[in-house]
């Protein structure tokens, strides 16, 4: 049985093909520059050379069609025909407060996604188009929606409400929703395994640090608070997003410049964050290169980003009272050792002490690692996220009728003996290049 997962972003379409019986990934890939011109597919199959092909994708409909044709291609494909696929899992950014768990997509679900698409204007329209395109090609199998916001529906009112007129919440659903839920679910469950604890007796601070970033306070295994808000703009400083700012500031800039609401929204989402500070870069690798060459604004961007993450770690420590582990994940959390150092240095008074040598070694997506010093009261884990696996397992369980909310459902990766075959093979290669990496690989307690 094969399960396909699709993650249609504002200008991309990621996919994974998973063999459920063999518990193995058959193929992964991405169509980039969708809607932008010059689009192309990058298709990876284990044991083969990466396949790239340019193809014009003015919308996500063409992107999904390209993915399907590539998967069934005689030379590049991994399945004989689309009939092999028995379920499709779709990432949906924003489900509002209507969903507490993943669902099979029906007309009611599609109406709900359309009702809240203004809350996720960069992603929800693409998510919806991806679902529609896939359902045209595969109309007779379950299409399942895995919402970024569902994980955070356990937050209490004191966490999710804003101090604005209450009728805004009642009439327009103005509240904190939070995102990166699939990533937080995976890393929270894995952290509990590594700690050897009941997941529902575990308190965590998890930082998902990528182009989009957020922090999650996990109390007794459930989301208690998170840094992103009604949209993914609030919270940490991100690649092109401002994060926290005085809400009156946009009105001040509008009066000074004559900019309209749409221009301000675009500037805060696409021209701010690290890009806004440096004036040139949104990628942390480019910023690090520039900082090492003496670029003062690049160094300022790093310092500001790290400072913001520290503030949230401290705030969530205070909220939780007791923290079992600090977890870093996503591209920056998994690889940017220089940013991790800036974030973690100075947290010793909280009992969070990192080991510089371990931190420098931890640059892999193929293993869970621990970079805390022996004297650290709180372990620091680097847990590579696996959102696609969560989507796959949710889709399978929905199809099989065994699915429920994460508080009443057990994932395969919650087993202490769970092994990701692809990552295990990749780790062997990593260890050949860097044998010292073995010393920081985290094992279940």
Strands (E), 369-410: 369-370, 380-382
Instruction: Retrieve residue 54's tokens.
Output: 């340019």
β-bridge partners, 209: 213
Nearest of 94, 102, 90, 78 to residue 138 by alpha carbon = 90
Instruction: Retrieve residue 311's tokens.
Output: 């503030």
* C-alpha span between 263 and 265 (Å, rounded): 5
> How many other β-carbons are positioned within 10 Å of the β-carbon of residue 375?
9
Q: Of the listed 65, 148, 386, 394, which one is catalytic?
A: 148
What is the DSSP secondary structure assignment for residue 48, as one 8-state letter? Answer: S
* C-alpha span between 312 and 40 (Å, rounded): 38
CA atoms within a 13 Å half-sphere pointing along the CA-CB vector of 65: 11
Mutual angle of helices 296-320 and 337-344, in 10-degree steps: 50
What is the DSSP secondary structure assignment for residue 27, as one 8-state letter? Answer: E
User: In this structure, what are the phi and psi dihedrals at residue 20, rounded to the nearest 5 degrees?
Assistant: -65, -40
Tell me, yes or no, if 24 is annotated catalytic: no
Evaluate whether 263 touches 253 at the Cβ level (below 8 Å).
Answer: no
Distance of CA 202 to the CA centre of its chain: 21
User: In this structure, what are the phi and psi dihedrals at residue 426, rounded to the nearest 5 degrees?
Assistant: -65, -35
* C-alpha span between 286 and 307 (Å, rounded): 19
Nearest of 89, 223, 200, 207 to residue 152 by alpha carbon = 223
Evaluate whether 221 touches 202 at the Cβ level (below 8 Å).
Answer: yes
Which string of b and e fits 58-80 if b means at least 16 CB within 10 Å?
A: eebbbbbbbbbbbbbeeebbbbe
Catalytic residue list: 148
């Amino acid at each position: 049985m094969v399960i396909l997962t699709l993650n249609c972003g504002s200008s991309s379409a990621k996919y994974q093909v998973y063999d459920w019986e063999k518990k193995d990934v058959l193929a992964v890939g991405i169509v980039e520059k969708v809607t932008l011109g010059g689009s192309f597919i990058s298709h990876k199959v284990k044991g083969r050379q990466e396949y790239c092909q340019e193809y014009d994708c003015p919308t996500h409909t063409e992107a999904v069609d390209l993915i399907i044709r590539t998967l069934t291609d005689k030379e590049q494909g991994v399945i004989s025909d689309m009939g092999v696929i028995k379920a499709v899992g779709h990432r949906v950014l924003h489900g509002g407060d209507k969903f507490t768990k993943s669902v099979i997509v029906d007309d009611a679900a599609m109406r709900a996604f359309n009702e809240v698409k203004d809350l996720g204007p960069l992603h929800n329209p693409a998510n919806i188009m991806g679902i529609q395109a896939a359902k045209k090609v595969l109309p007779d199998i379950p299409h399942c929606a895995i919402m970024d916001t569902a994980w955070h529906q356990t937050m209490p009112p004191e966490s999710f409400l804003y101090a604005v007129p209450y009728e805004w919440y009642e009439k327009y659903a103005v509240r904190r929703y939070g995102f990166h839920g699939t990533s937080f679910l995976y890393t929270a469950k894995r952290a509990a395994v590594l700690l050897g604890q009941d997941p529902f007796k575990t308190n965590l601070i998890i930082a998902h640090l990528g182009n989009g970033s957020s922090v999650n306070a996990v109390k007794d295994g459930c989301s208690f608070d998170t840094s992103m808000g009604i949209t993914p703009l609030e919270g940490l400083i991100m690649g092109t997003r401002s994060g926290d700012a005085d809400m009156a500031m946009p009105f001040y800039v509008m009066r000074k410049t004559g900019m309209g609401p749409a221009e301000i929204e675009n500037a805060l989402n696409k021209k701010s964050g690290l890009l806004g500070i440096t004036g040139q870069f949104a990628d942390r690798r480019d910023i690090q290169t520039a900082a090492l060459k003496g670029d003062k604004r690049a160094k300022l961007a790093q310092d500001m980003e790290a400072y913001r993450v520290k503030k949230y770690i401290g705030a969530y420590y205070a909220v939780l009272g007791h923290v079992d582990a600090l977890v870093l994940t996503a591209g920056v959390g998994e690889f940017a050792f220089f940013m991790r150092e800036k974030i973690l240095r100075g947290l010793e008074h909280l009992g969070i002490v990192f080991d510089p040598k371990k931190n420098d070694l931890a640059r892999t997506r193929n293993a869970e690692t621990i970079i805390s010093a022996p004297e650290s009261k709180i372990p620091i884990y680097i847990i590579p996220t696996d959102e696609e696996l969560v989507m796959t397992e949710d889709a399978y369980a929905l199809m099989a009728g065994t699915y429920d909310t994460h508080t009443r459902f057990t994932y395969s990766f919650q087993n202490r003996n769970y092994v990701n075959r692809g990552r295990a093979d990749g780790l062997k290669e990593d260890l050949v290049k860097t044998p010292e990496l073995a010393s920081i690989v985290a094992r279940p307690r």
